[in-house]
Structure 1
Amino acid sequence: LKAGAARDHILGVAAVSGRGEAFKSGGRVVKNVTGYDLSKLMANSWGTLAVLTDVTFKVLPAAETEVTLAIRGLLDEAAVTAMALALGSSAEVSSAAHLPERIAARVAGGKHGSDAATLLRVEGFGPSVVYRIEALRKLLAKAGPLEEIAGEASKTIWRDIRDCRPFADSGTRPVWRVSMAPSEAHHMVMALRMQAAVDAFYDWQGGLVWLSMREDDPEADLLRGLIRKHGGGHATLVRASAPHRAALPVFEPPPPHLAALSARLKAEFDPKNILNPGRMAPGAGSATLVQSTEGAAS
């Protein structure tokens, strides 16, 4: 299991540790507060602590209606401002993303053009969605040209954003998943573009940045240094060549005290290091088990 949205919707798990011991955590109902919250730990561990045999999820009903309001032609900084304004309103925007120029053409098969698109998703019952979209139109009337995208077309856009479709067909170019403060992310990307060839798009109001490097070098030190300079965050190397993945910390290197605590957890659950060895750190598999991860997915 990956961290993120799943972590917040897991009610309970049954698993087998690297010691061969079966254990359970949580339960089958929402109100369950007994014992250690091992369910969330398992969701963060990328299979390095135990083999899950049973998982209970909290599920939510699908929205009756979905409409995406697109603002066209904004630069990154203006897009972040517009997304913050929309999410701070009473329109109950459920998702906000920004696709810069040309990146927009790589979503939904290019059906919506290549101009930059700042996307705001509104979901719920039909009359409520109509009212909230109209409220957003009034709020963002001066932001730029507005376009409504409804139904299956809207779902396709957000599915492609979730799956990082714009960078899925770029061969072996390194791809990074960066989580940091939305107000700082576009500044970090601009600084990165001054020193490396990179494509980028933004989800989570700009708090999640997907980066595609145009060369084989993932530029790990440069990227992580700029993230620290702009307020801190997490950078995960999602794709790179095998030599780079073997040589670089794929996950954000944790502070020494968290690394030590993670190593102790790994030793307790999997003392012989037989579960996914090397998955979270070269030769170890225990890098960031207790470090806070990037948050909920869109």
Structure 2
Amino acid sequence: MLDLAARTETPKTAAEVVALVADAGAAGRRLEIVGGGTKRGIGAVAGADAVLSLAGLTKVIDYAPDELVLTAQAGVKLATLEKLVAAEGQMLPFEPPHLAKLLGAKGQPTLGGTLAANLSGPRRIRAGAARDHFLGLEAVTGRGELVKAGGRVVKNVTGYDLSKLMAGSWGTLAVLTEVTIKVLPAARSEVTILIFGLDDRRAGEAMTLALNAPVEVSGAAHLPRATAERAPLKGELAVTALRLEGFEASVVARADHLLSALRTFGPAELLDAGHSREFWAQVREVEAFHKDPRPLWRISVPPAVGWQAPQDLVGQALYDWGGGLVWLLSDSDPATVRRAVRALGGHATLYRGEGPAFEPLEGPLAALTARVKAAFDPTGVLNPGRLGPGRMGQG
């Protein structure tokens, strides 16, 4: 990873990005692509000759609240956009996590970086992932070519869906310069049902029941006792949380229905709207694990078996997405963690700690990703090694 103070290019336009990438390709140089720099430590770039920062691309190009569509340059900060849409009674529906404090970063996350990493918060189980709200893009490939895809409408079926391909590519295929996303009206009200003292298996059963009930749960998380005892919650028992959002009358009716359905799991309490928002912000930012120096894993598994992921591993867990996302603090050997997660049909990414961040790909999937990388960045100009061997980030 290069020092940000050493040789950083900060273009102000897409044309300047094209020139910088094209020149790098012609000269055989490689570039590390940076937005706010908050996720630079996840799959560190190896062998880059310079940093290409998107800090100069910070304009909101167009925002049409009536059409629920926003177009902005990739370097716009998430906090700026969240404030902008909140003023119109709207929200970024995928509830993007910032994670700067969790990762010990000093910068602020950007829209482009969030989409490139396909990061979504607790509302993903209801609203979908970041990629599901990524409508269009302007980007510069590793060939030094400016491409545009998608548009300002939700239903766009012309050509390939490059937006979804770019989401989760971590800047290894192209440099996002401008993106269009869908926004939604913010919930008028919300409430969170809390159930205390459930073990991980029983909590998984409660979350599964709630998510299958006709009540539109928009958040389902479980903090085992050892996690709930930590700051900022500082609880005495394990906590299982279920969020309902919408118009007040609807929220009240759905909460009553869900409370009745969950009565066999024990007594429940309700968090009002203000405390509910505070609680889910803590879950989204994984605040319980901010100050723990142990390696931190982000594990994605089928929700129904999520509670099983940490059972044979030493550490502490926080379950989100009804168990589909597990944050795990663990000193277990990386190979052991990945083997346990693969056995459950999932994958694990090391967000903090020593070792490869992303799980290596093998066989046909590795061959396919190599072909995709070759199509967009044949000489390996962009983020070399970011995703590790067998991935699109391999230089």
TM-score tier after normalising by the smaller chain length: 0.7 to 0.9
- The residue number in structure 1 matching 2:392 is 286
1:157 corresponds to which residue? 279
Cα deviation for residue 261 of structure 1 reads: 1.3
> Is the aligned partner of 1:98 residue 2:212?
no
SS of residue paired to 2:278:
helix
Local SS of the residue matching 1:55: strand
> Which residue of the other structure, out of 297, 308, 312, is the alignment partner of 1:191?
312
User: What code does the residue aligned with 1:278 have?
Assistant: G
Point out where structure 1 has 5 or more consecutive residues left out of the alignment.
289-298
Match of 2:268 in 1: 146
Greater relative contact order (Cα 8 A, min sep 6): structure 1 or 2? 1
- Looking at structure 1, the residues matched to 284 and 309 of structure 2 have their Cα atoms a distance apart, in angstroms, of 21
Q: 1:186-231 CA distances to partner (integer Å, 9 max, x unpaired)?
A: 2232122xxxx21111111111111001x4xx5211111112323x
Question: Does the CA-based 8 Å contact 2:360-2:391 persist in structure 1?
Answer: no
What is the correspondence of 1:1-298 to structure 2 with a 5 Å cutoff? 1-4=116-119, 5-106=129-230, 109-110=232-233, 113-171=235-293, 173-192=294-313, 197-213=314-330, 215=331, 219-230=333-344, 232-240=345-353, 244-245=354-355, 248=356, 250-281=357-388, 286=392
The sequence identity of aligned pairs, in percent, is: 52
Preserved contact between residue 303 and residue 323 of structure 2 (Cα < 8 Å): yes
Q: Distance in 2 between matches of 1:31 and 1:185?
A: 33
SS class of match (2:185):
coil
Q: Distance in 1 between matches of 2:288 and 2:249?
A: 33
Corresponding letter in the other structure for 1:174: P
What residue is the counterpart of 1:291 in the other structure? none
Q: 1:80 to 1:93 in 2, by over 3 A?
A: same
Question: How far apart, CA to CA, are the structure 2 residues paired with 1:255 and 1:278?
Answer: 16
Distance in 2 (alpha carbons) for counterparts of 1:223 and 1:208: 14
Q: Give the Cα–Cα distance (whole angstroms) in 2 for the partners of residues 265 and 87 of structure 1.
A: 36
**What SS class does the counterpart of residue 277 from structure 1 fall into?**
coil
Aligned 8 A contact 2:383 2:393 in 1: no
Shift of 1:60: 0.8
Structure 2 length as normaliser, TM-score?
A: 0.65
Q: Which deviations, in whole Å up to 9, do the C-alpha atoms of 1:245-292 show, x marking residues without a partner?
A: 3xx3x212223111111111112211221211111015x76269xxxx
Unaligned 5+ runs, structure 2: 1-115, 120-128
Supply the distance in 2 between the matched residues of 1:285 and 1:229 (Cα, whole angstroms): 21
Note if contact 1:251-1:287 (Cα within 8 Å) is conserved in structure 2: no
CA–CA distance in 2 between the matches of 1:66 and 1:208?
Answer: 22
Which digits, 9 at most, give the CA deviation of each residue in 1:127-171, with x for residues without a partner? 110111111111112212211112121112111211221112113
CA RMSD in angstroms, aligned pairs only: 1.7
Q: Distance in 2 between matches of 1:40 and 1:183?
A: 26
> Cα deviation per residue 1:50-102 (whole Å; 9 max; x = unaligned)?
11111000111110001000001100011011111111111221111100003
- Distance across 2 between alignment mates of 1:55 and 1:274: 22
Runs of 4+ aligned residues of structure 1 deviating over 4 Å after TM superposition are: none
Provide the TM-score with structure 1 as the length reference.
0.86
Aligned 8 A contact 2:204 2:306 in 1: no
Partners in 2 of 1:156 and 1:105 — Cα distance? 17
In the alignment, is the contact (CA less than 8 A) between 2:219 and 2:321 conserved in 1? yes
Change (3 A) 1:280 1:191: same
Per the alignment, in what secondary structure is the counterpart of residue 117 of structure 2? coil
Task: Work out the CA distance in 2 between the residues paired with 1:110 and 1:181.
Answer: 27
Aligned AA (2:335):
D
- 1:97 touches 1:204 (CA, 8 Å); kept in 2? yes
SS at match of 2:383: coil
Deviation at 1:105, TM superposition (A): 3.5
CA distance, structure 2, for counterparts of residue 185 and residue 52 of structure 1: 33
Q: In structure 2, what is the Cα distance between the partners aligned to 1:233 and 1:207?
A: 9
Task: Kindly state the Cα deviation for residue 179 of structure 1 after the two structures are TM-superposed.
Answer: 0.9
Q: 1:185: Cα distance to partner?
A: 2.2
Match of 1:294 in 2: none
